Structure 1
Amino acid sequence: MSVRENILNAIAANQPKLVPLPVIDEASVIHYEDLYAQFKTVLESIGGKVELISNTEVLKEQLAADKSSGSFVVNTIAALGNVDNQVVSLTAIELEKVDKAYIEGTVGVAENGAVWVYESQMINRLVPFICQHLVLVIYKKSIVPTLHQAYEKIEAAREGFGLFLAGPSKTADIEQSLVIGAHGARSATIYVVE
C-alpha cells in the first residue's frame, strides 16, 4: 500500500460519528419590530444604499436613462424589460466595462443586510462582482429577520451557484485603511419594492 492510500484509509477509519443537526427554537432567535427598517439600517451602516419604492416603474425610467447615457449597463430583471441575455456567454474581459448591473434578489436578511441571489438571476455569475455599480431589487415582503429564516426560504442547492450579497465590495489592510470596490462593485443600491 502506498503512503497516500495509508493516509486516506486512516482518515476514512477515523471519521466522527454523525449527529443530527440541532433543532433551532424559532422563538429564541432575534425578532425585529420593523424588518425593513432593520434591513435599511444595517445595509447603510456597511456602505450600501436602500430605497423603498412603490413599484418598478421608477427603475424602468432609471434603466432607460442609464442605457441612453452610453454606459455598459446590464439588466437581468424581466419586469424592467429587455433582459440582456447575451451576457451569459461573455467573458470577464468582455464584461470588464460593465458600469451598472440590475439584478433581482430573492430574500433580504434584516440582521445583516444581505440579499440572496441565484445564478439564474445574475445570468452570468461574474456580473455582480465585475460591475462598478450594483442595483439589487427585492420585495419588502421577502425580507426575513435572520439567516435561519432565509435558509428556509431559499433552495441553496437548486442551481450551481448562488450567494448572499451585502453592500459594496470592501476590504481593509493591516493599517485598517478601508477601500471600497477593491474586489467588486464600488456601490450597491438596494431597491425594496413595497
Structure 2
Amino acid sequence: MSSKNSILSALSQSALTAHPMPNIEVEVTPQPLVETFAASLATVAGELHQHGGLAALQAKVDELIAQKLQVLSLVEGVNGNRQVPNTAHELADIDYAILAGELGVAENGAIWVSQTQHRVTPFICENLILALPEKALVANMHQAVNQVSLAQGALGVFVAGPSKTADIEQALVVGAHGACSLQVYLY
C-alpha cells in the first residue's frame, strides 16, 4: 500500500459520525426594518433610496445615460443603454450595473443577490445599484439564511456596501476590489 493510500485509509477509519446541524432559534426583537436597514447600509458605505421605487431608479438611469455613462440593467422594467454581452470580458467598461436584490438584512445592510448571467457583474462594474422589494427585508441573518437557496453550481452572494479594504497602510479604501459605490432602491 502506498503512503497516500495508507493515510487516506487511516483518515477514513477515524472519521467522526455525522451529526445533524443544530437548530438555532434567535428571537427577533421588534424593530422598524426600513429604518434599521437604512442605518446599517449607511454604516457600510451604502446609500438607500426609499421613495419613488422603480420609477425613481429609471429616472436615475436616464440621468446617467444623459451623462454618456454605460448602464447595464438586469432589472425588469428598468432600461439601461447596454445589453447583456456574450462574454463577461465585455463588461469591463460598465459604469453602472443594476441588479435585483432578493433579500435585505436590516441588522447589517446586506443584500442577497443571486447571479445567473456573468457571475462577475456585481464585482466588475464601477458602481452597483440594487433594486430591492421592501417586503423582502428581514431583521437578521438567522432569518435570511433560512430564506435563501441556490441550485447546484449557481452563484449567490450577500453584498454589504461597496468594495472596501483597510489593509493598505491601515487606511480605508473604497472600491479597491470591486464596485466603488452601492445604491439600493426600495420598491
Same-fold call, TM cutoff 0.5: yes
Query: Residues 39 and 159 of structure 1: is their aligned pair in 2 closer, same or farther, counting only changes over 3 Å?
Result: farther
Percent of aligned positions with the same letter in both sequences?
34
Establish whether residue 59 from structure 1 lines up as the match of residue 52 from structure 2.
Answer: no
Establish whether residue 36 from structure 1 lines up as the match of residue 30 from structure 2.
Answer: no
| TM-score, length-scaled by structure 1 | 0.88
Map 1:10-29 to 2 at 5 A: 10-25=10-25, 28-29=26-27
Indicate the SS of the match to 1:173: strand
Structure-2 separation of matches of 1:7 and 1:83: 57
The question of whether the paired residues in 2 share the 8 Å contact of 1:167 and 1:188 is answered with: yes
Query: Residues 11 and 46 of structure 1: is their aligned pair in 2 closer, same or farther, counting only changes over 3 Å?
Result: same
Structure number having the greater helix percentage: 1
Match of 1:116 in 2: 112
Which range moves more in the overlay, 131-140 or 57-66?
57-66
Q: Residue type matched to 1:176 in 2?
A: Q
Establish whether residue 104 from structure 1 lines up as the match of residue 100 from structure 2.
Answer: yes
| Aligned residue pairs, count | 187
Structure 2 residues not aligned, in runs of 5+ = none
RMSD: 1.9
Structure-1 separation of matches of 2:47 and 2:22: 36
Structure-2 separation of matches of 1:76 and 1:178: 30
| TM-score, length-scaled by structure 2 | 0.91
How big is the shift at 1:74?
A: 0.8
Q: Which of residues 139, 145, 148 is equivalent to 1:154?
A: 148
Deviations 1:91-149 (A, max 9, x none): 33x222111111111000111111001113xx321111011111011011100011121
Q: Which of residues 64, 70, 73 is equivalent to 1:72?
A: 70
Q: Residue type matched to 2:136 in 1?
A: S
